[in-house]
C-alpha cells in the first residue's frame, strides 16, 4: 500500500514540475534572436564598387561616341569644301610677297563701277573668262619673243645693217610689251572681279607684279649703258630671266583659268 502511494505521489510531482522546466522560463532563443548574417559585408562593398565602375565606363563610352560623331561631321564638312585653292598650294610666293601688293579692298572699290558696266554688257562667258589670257599670250610670244630674239641679234650678229635694225626695233617691241602687260593686268583684275573671284591671292598675280617691277628696271638700264658698258651683260641676263618668269606666269595663268 505504501509503495503504491509513493509511486502515485512521485508521478504527481513530475506532472506539477514540468511547467517549471518549460521553454517559457528560459530566455528567447528563437531563430530570429540567434540569426547569423548570411551575407558577407565585403560582398556589398564589391558590388557597390562594381556599380560605380560600370557607371564610369558607360559615361566614358558615351563621351567616346560623341567625340567620334563630331570627328565624322568635321570630316564631312572638309570633304564638302571646294578644292580650287589646291591648285596653288605648291608655291609659297603668296606668303612671301602679299605684303608688297596693294590692298585688294581698295582695288576692288576702284574697279567696282567698271566691273558693273562689264556685267551689264552681257558679254559671252568665254570672252570674259579667256579674253585676258588670249591677249596676253599674243603679247608675250609675238612682241616679247621676237623682241628677245632681236636683243640676242644685237649682241651676237656681225651684220651691221641687221644690228642697226634690231637696235631700233628691240626697245620698241619690249616697251610695247611692258605697256600691254600693264594694261592687261587691269583686264585680268576685271575678269576676276566679274567672276566674283579674289584678285591678289594667286601666284599668277604675284608673278605678274614681280615681272612688271623687273621690266621697269630693265627699261632704265639702257640709259646707263654709256657710263657703264658692263651693264649690257646685266641687261641681257635680266631680260632672259624676265622672259622665263613670264613664261612661268603664263603657266600659272592657265592653271588659274582652269580652276574655275
Per-residue pLDDT of the chain (260 residues; tens, 9 = 90+): 444 444 444 444 444 444 444 444 444 444 444 444 444 444 444 455 555 566 555 666 666 676 666 556 555 454 554 444 333 334 444 444 444 455 677 888 888 888 899 888 888 989 989 999 999 999 999 999 999 999 999 988 889 999 999 999 999 999 999 999 999 999 999 999 988 888 888 899 999 999 999 999 998 888 888 878 788 889 999 999 999 999 999 999 999 999 88
Domain 86-258 CATH class label: mainly alpha
- Taking a C-beta distance cutoff of 8 angstroms, is the pair 132, 184 a contact? yes
What lies within 8 Å, CB to CB, of 115 at 6+ separation is 190, 193, 194
d(C-alpha 53, C-alpha 59), whole Å: 10
d(C-alpha 186, C-alpha 208), whole Å: 11
C-alpha cell at 139: 603679247
Q: Provide the residue ranges of all domains of the chain, joining segments of one domain with +.
A: 43-81, 86-258
C-alpha cell at 123: 558679254
Q: Is the pTM of this model over 0.85?
A: no
C-alpha cell at 246: 613670264
How many C-alpha atoms does 129 have within 13 Å on its Cβ side?
Answer: 11
DSSP code of 219? H
**Looking only at Cα atoms, what is the longest distance across the chain?**
186
Amino acid at each position: 500500500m505504501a509503495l503504491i502511494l509513493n509511486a502515485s505521489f512521485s508521478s504527481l510531482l513530475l506532472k506539477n514540475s514540468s511547467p517549471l522546466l518549460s521553454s517559457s522560463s528560459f530566455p528567447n532563443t528563437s531563430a530570429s534572436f540567434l540569426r547569423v548574417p548570411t551575407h558577407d559585408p565585403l560582398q556589398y562593398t564589391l558590388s557597390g564598387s562594381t556599380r560605380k565602375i560600370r557607371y564610369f565606363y558607360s559615361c566614358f563610352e558615351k563621351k567616346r561616341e560623341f567625340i567620334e560623331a563630331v570627328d565624322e561631321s568635321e570630316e564631312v564638312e572638309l570633304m564638302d569644301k571646294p578644292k580650287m585653292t589646291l591648285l596653288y598650294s605648291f608655291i609659297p610666293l603668296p606668303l612671301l610677297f602679299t605684303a608688297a601688293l596693294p590692298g585688294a579692298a581698295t582695288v576692288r572699290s576702284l574697279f567696282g563701277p567698271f566691273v558693273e558696266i562689264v556685267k551689264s554688257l552681257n558679254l559671252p562667258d568665254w570672252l570674259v573668262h579667256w579674253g585676258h589670257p588670249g591677249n596676253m599670250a599674243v603679247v608675250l610670244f609675238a612682241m616679247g619673243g621676237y623682241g628677245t630674239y632681236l636683243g640676242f641679234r644685237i649682241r651676237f650678229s656681225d651684220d651691221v645693217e641687221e644690228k642697226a635694225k634690231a637696235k631700233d626695233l628691240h626697245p620698241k617691241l619690249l616697251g610695247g610689251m611692258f605697256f600691254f602687260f600693264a594694261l592687261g593686268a587691269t583686264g585680268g583684275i576685271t575678269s576676276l572681279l566679274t567672276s566674283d573671284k579674289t584678285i591678289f591671292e594667286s601666284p599668277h598675280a604675284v608673278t605678274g607684279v614681280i615681272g612688271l617691277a623687273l621690266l621697269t628696271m630693265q627699261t632704265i638700264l639702257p640709259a646707263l649703258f654709256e657710263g657703264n658698258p658692263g651693264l649690257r651683260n646685266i641687261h641681257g641676263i635680266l631680260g632672259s630671266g624676265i622672259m622665263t618668269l613670264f613664261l612661268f606666269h603664263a603657266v600659272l595663268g592657265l592653271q588659274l583659268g582652269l580652276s574655275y
